[in-house]
Amino acid sequence: MSKQVALTGIKPTGMPHLGNYLGAIKPALELAEKYDARYFIADYHSLNTIKDPEMLRNYTYEIAACWLACGLDPSKTLIYRQSDVPETFELTTMIMAFTTKGLMNRAHAYKAQVDVNKEKGKPEDHNINMGLYTYPVLMAADILLFDTNYVPVGKDQVQHIEMAVDIAEAVNRAYNKELLTLPKPVVSESTQVVIGLDGRKMSKSYDNTIALFLPEKKLKKLCNKIVTNSQAVEEVKDPETCNVFTLYKLFATEEEQASLAAKYRAGGMGWGEAKAELFRVLNETISPMRDKYDSLMEDKAYIDKVLADGAERARELAKAKIALLRRTMGFELHSNN
């Protein structure tokens, strides 16, 4: 039996942050060891919000370089741009006919925008384009096109995968066969616990993120900005309620954690010292990947080549799937199917 398929996409809307790395990129790369992995750059999803071509191009390179720098091996894992696989958009149109408007009305991302509008006293549909409204359909097409079994994602994306299942079931029911594989979300435990500078969940919408590949100096500066209480140096401190320590735990070894926790509890350690220690372990983890990232961003021709290879292989798979669907749905005239 051939290996099961794991697939995920990242929208190019800015450099991934530590939360994205621990919650999405790292677990996805672990899954790639076991499954036939297909990881792509969801650039058409970005078009909903990014209309500056230079920016979109640059973010696309950033995401590609991030995947590669974090350890994606393009000889084993398929990496491609969504926009290089036009079969995605044909499948999107096909499944539109199987997607109820009511299902889209329930999508969290769309509802969140409606709530923002209501709060601001604007009309419900203000700032909502059809790309946002039908976002889950395009995402379902991404997934269903490649017979995906597993989709490593953050918790916020689980609803979208459930919608992909609903849509796939509607198609399968209509033609009375297993045309489309039903995907399952794989949610990493750590997504829930990556906090940002202010102690809330690390998220671009809270403006509290630490981008993955910052120059060392900037990383240090951000570590110093992490919110702590106002206890004085000599006071005894509680590591378990401290934002600095919460982040530290995600990157430090057991021994390092025990030793820093002891310093908290002994008193005599200022926040500056704890933050410097957090910076040290963070930087140690990130440095080798950052070096790789920086050199990749200097060699766009290499990234272009990797993406072109990926596109070719992805399209081969996609074309076969679309051909089957076309045949089944009656778009191929004179077929005996």
Give the nearest residue (CB) to ligand TRP: 9
Task: Give least dist CB 264 to ligand TRP, A.
Answer: 35
The tokens describing 114, both together, are 């409606």
Residue 38 pairs with which residues in a beta bridge?
A: 7, 78
Task: Give least dist CB 45 to ligand TRP, A.
Answer: 5
Task: Give least dist CB 313 to ligand TRP, A.
Answer: 18
Using the minimum distance from each CB to ligand TRP, give the nearer residue, 79 or 153.
153
The DSSP code for 158 is H
Residues that bind ligand TRP (CB under 6 A): 7-9, 11, 42, 45, 139, 142-143, 151, 153, 157, 160
Using the minimum distance from each CB to ligand TRP, give the nearer residue, 85 or 306.
85
Task: Give least dist CB 256 to ligand TRP, A.
Answer: 31
Using the minimum distance from each CB to ligand TRP, give the nearer residue, 171 or 186.
186
Using the minimum distance from each CB to ligand TRP, give the nearer residue, 41 or 223.
41
Spatial CB neighbours of 183, under 8 Å, sequence gap ≥ 6 = 7, 143, 144, 148, 149, 150, 151, 161, 164, 165, 168
Conformational region of residue 55, where left means phi above 0, alpha means psi within -120 to 50, and beta covers everything else: alpha
The DSSP code for 78 is E
Task: Give least dist CB 47 to ligand TRP, A.
Answer: 12
Q: CA separation (Å) from 330 to 29, 170, 175, 253, 322? A: 39, 17, 11, 58, 12
Using the minimum distance from each CB to ligand TRP, give the nearer residue, 150 or 264.
150
The tokens describing 164, both together, are 């992909």
